């Protein structure tokens, strides 16, 4: 049963970082949305900046950046073969490099684990959208908060349905330590007619204090065109 993503976000003050992949209601576009949130000054001191092949995070005020290790990366990279990679960390580049060598995204992620930020052990969430609009999602997480074991889950959606997407985030909600996302990606409705409409709906649904940046992309399946919207709080 599909859920209302905006309602889910409004009810959750801190899902952390989130990825939505799916198909537009008219069936003509692959849909990508990625957002970041932050509770610390260091995490909130970020913006999305467009690059030739996607986006990167960067410090809004370089003088206030204290530790870039887990917060500065390329969340989105578009490949020459028409694939788009979206992740919450530097595993974007791990996946890109593996695909360039003829491997798959699972091969790449089997070399990675969750983030080394105990006691949260933040999951690594990743998605790959293929030229035909089919997509994959993944989460690498600790076993019930135990860093001795990394659990790797892969979800593949080979025949996307118009108006349907799947959403995954790093956390279930706020807490100390932060509870990792659990279960399968959530099936959600994708009713927004274009990237601008989806960006507006999602941005208004994210917690006002914790939201940082949002990226939305509608990829035309026939022409391979991109309609991209970026919203930074800073």
pLDDT at 63: 87
Of the two residues 66 and 221, the one the predictor is more confident about is 221
Helix extents (H) in 26-142: 41-44, 91-100, 105-109
Residue 167: count of CB within 10 angstroms of its CB: 22
pLDDT at 177 over 90: yes
Residue with the bigger pLDDT between 117 and 1: it is 117
Q: Does residue 193 carry a pLDDT above 90?
A: yes
pLDDT digits over 105-124, tens only?
A: 999 999 999 999 999 999 99
**What secondary structure does DSSP assign to 116-137, as a single string?**
S-TTS-PPEEEEEE-TTS-EEE
- Strand residues in the chain grouped as ranges (E): 18-23, 29-37, 46-51, 54-59, 76-78, 84-87, 124-129, 135-143, 146-157, 164-169, 186-189, 211-220, 226-232
Q: Would you say 65 and 42 are in contact if contact means Cβ atoms under 8 Å apart?
A: yes
Write phi, then psi, for 91 (nearest 5 degrees).
-70, -10
Question: Average of pLDDT values for 180-186?
Answer: 98
Q: Give me the mean pLDDT over the 202-210 stretch.
A: 98
The C-alpha angle 190, 194, 137, rounded to 5 degrees, equals 45
Instruction: Tell me which H or E stretch contains 8.
Output: helix 5-10
* pLDDT mean over 21-30: 98
Output the six-digit token pair for 52: 């030739």
* Chain centroid offset of residue 168 CA: 7
């Amino acid at each position: 049963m599909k859920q209302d993503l905006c309602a889910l976000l409004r009810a959750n003050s801190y899902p952390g970082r989130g990825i939505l992949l799916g198909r537009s209601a008219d069936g003509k576009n692959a849909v990508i949305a990625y957002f970041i949130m932050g509770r610390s000054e260091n995490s909130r001191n970020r913006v999305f900046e467009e690059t030739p092949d996607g986006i990167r995070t960067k410090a809004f005020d370089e003088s206030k950046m204290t530790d870039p290790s887990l917060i500065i990366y390329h969340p989105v990279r578009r490949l020459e073969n028409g694939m788009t990679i979206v992740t919450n960390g530097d595993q974007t580049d791990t996946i890109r490099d593996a695909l360039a060598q003829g491997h798959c995204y699972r091969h790449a992620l089997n070399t990675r684990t969750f983030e080394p930020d105990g006691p949260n052990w933040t999951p690594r969430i990743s998605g790959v959208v293929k030229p035909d609009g089919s997509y994959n999602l993944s989460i690498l997480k600790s076993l019930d908060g135990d860093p001795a074991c990394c659990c790797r889950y892969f979800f593949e959606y080979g025949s996307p349905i118009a108006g349907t997407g799947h959403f995954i985030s790093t956390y279930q909600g706020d807490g100390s330590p932060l509870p990792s996302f659990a279960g399968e990606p959530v099936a959600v409705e994708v009713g927004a007619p274009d990237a601008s409409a989806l960006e507006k709906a999602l941005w208004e649904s994210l917690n006002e204090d914790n939201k940082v940046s949002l990226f939305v992309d509608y990829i035309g399946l026939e022409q391979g065109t991109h309609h991209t919207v970026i919203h930074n709080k800073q």
